[in-house]
């Protein structure tokens, strides 16, 4: 039977290890699947570097599987690490490298990507992690192609997921890859979760308000634009609000912001629509018009490119 080893460590939460144990351990839950659907066949092992680990909340977990069992598993799963700024133990790094040498499947959830990165198994690969840690992961390990947008990245034998709950999406993806859509759908049905979630992390990232530019003329034009997002705004109008010629305005805007006025304006229109999608009882068409898009089609196009999901799916996600 395919063994799935899940790392347990001092200071861990029960969520990520629990969701992985639940999904991959369903072979031990007979009678829970639809007629004609075989449960996924995995043997789950919670592995730690010491016999007991202290969990958040005061619980103590005792396991009979050690770090050598993790090194010998068919799938190695690393949940969030306790501290992304601390190097993992040499024993864990060696175990991950040993599993990699055997061509085992390597999986991380959330900040667990830092442990895989420390072992060197993400070098030259695309990977993701929680959006909060994406920039730090890229800085610490420049040989990794870090993408903060998707819920998970499948790079063949090495798979990484975004924030903790995205581990559900990744584990279901693994079941779907190993056993097919029907089994994965039955697992999702039992857990009462979607077999596949649309979108990515972009819809959850807390977008900061842009810092005002040091160029007062550019800042004045930007402030005026934000007050008039509900109407068409031309490049010439923006330049006029900044008391510049069109050519000078384009040059100075790029110097001050690192982007173009039109790209910036589209981003602001999309950002302005989020609160309306979350709270206002307006149709997509009404929201598109209220934030200044010429048509719902144009709005959906730019929203999907920027947020990696559709306006309707975003609304469903945040309003239920």
CATH number at residue 230: 1.10.10.60
What pLDDT score was predicted for residue 51?
A: 86
What pLDDT score was predicted for residue 108?
A: 96
What pLDDT score was predicted for residue 316?
A: 77
Given a cut of 50, the residues of the chain with pLDDT beneath it are 203, 207-212, 214
**Domain assignment of residue 205, yes or no:** no
Instruction: Judge if 87 and 110 occupy the same domain.
Output: yes
What pLDDT score was predicted for residue 274?
A: 85
What pLDDT score was predicted for residue 283?
A: 93
What pLDDT score was predicted for residue 198?
A: 58
Instruction: Judge if 153 and 42 occupy the same domain.
Output: yes
- Contact indicator for 119, 100 with CB cutoff of 8 Å: yes
Q: Provide the residue range defining the domain that includes 286.
A: 262-317
Residue 192, classed as helix, strand or coil, is coil
What pLDDT score was predicted for residue 263?
A: 92
What pLDDT score was predicted for residue 37?
A: 60
Instruction: Judge if 250 and 266 occupy the same domain.
Output: no
What pLDDT score was predicted for residue 301?
A: 94
**The pairing of beta strand 2-8 with beta strand 60-62:** unpaired
What pLDDT score was predicted for residue 58?
A: 85
We report the CATH number of the domain holding residue 171 as 3.40.50.880
What number of CA atoms fall less than 13 Å from residue 261's CA on the CB side? 27
Is the sign of the CA dihedral 61, 62, 64, 66 positive or negative?
positive
What pLDDT score was predicted for residue 234?
A: 93
């Amino acid at each position: 039977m395919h063994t799935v080893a899940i790392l347990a460590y001092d200071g861990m939460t029960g969520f990520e290890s629990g969701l992985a144990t639940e999904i991959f351990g369903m072979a031990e839950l007979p009678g829970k699947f639809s007629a004609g659907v075989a449960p996924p066949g995995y043997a789950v092992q919670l592995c730690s570097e010491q016999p007991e680990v202290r969990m958040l909340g005061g619980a103590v977990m005792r396991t009979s599987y050690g770090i050598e069992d993790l090194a010998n598993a068919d799938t190695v799963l690393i949940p969030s690490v306790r501290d992304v700024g601390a190097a993992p133990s040499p024993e864990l790094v060696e175990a991950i490298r040993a599993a990699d040498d055997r061509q085992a499947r390597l999986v991380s959830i959330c900040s667990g990507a830092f442990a895989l990165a420390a072992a060197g198994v993400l070098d030259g690969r695309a990977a993701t992690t929680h959006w909060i840690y994406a920039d730090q992961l890229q800085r610490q390990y420049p040989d990794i192609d870090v993408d903060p947008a998707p819920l998970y990245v499948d790079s063949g034998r090495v798979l990484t997921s975004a924030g903790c709950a995205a581990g559900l999406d990744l584990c279901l993806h693994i079941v779907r890859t190993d056993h097919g859509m029907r089994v994965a759908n039955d697992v999702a049905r039992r857990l009462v979760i979607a077999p596949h979630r649309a979108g990515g992390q972009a819809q959850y990232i807390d977008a900061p308000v842009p810092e005002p530019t040091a160029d007062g003329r550019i800042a004045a034009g930007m402030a005026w634009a934000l007050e008039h997002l509900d109407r068409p705004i031309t490049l010439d109008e923006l330049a006029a609000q900044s008391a510049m010629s069109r050519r000078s305005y384009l040059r100075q805007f790029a110097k001050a912001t690192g982007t173009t006025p039109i790209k910036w304006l589209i981003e602001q229109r999309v950002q302005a629509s989020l609160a309306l999608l979350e709270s206002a009882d307006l149709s997509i068409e009404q929201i598109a018009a209220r934030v200044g898009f010429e048509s719902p089609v144009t709005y959906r196009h730019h929203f999907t490119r920027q947020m990696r999901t559709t306006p309707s799916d975003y609304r469903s996600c945040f309003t239920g």
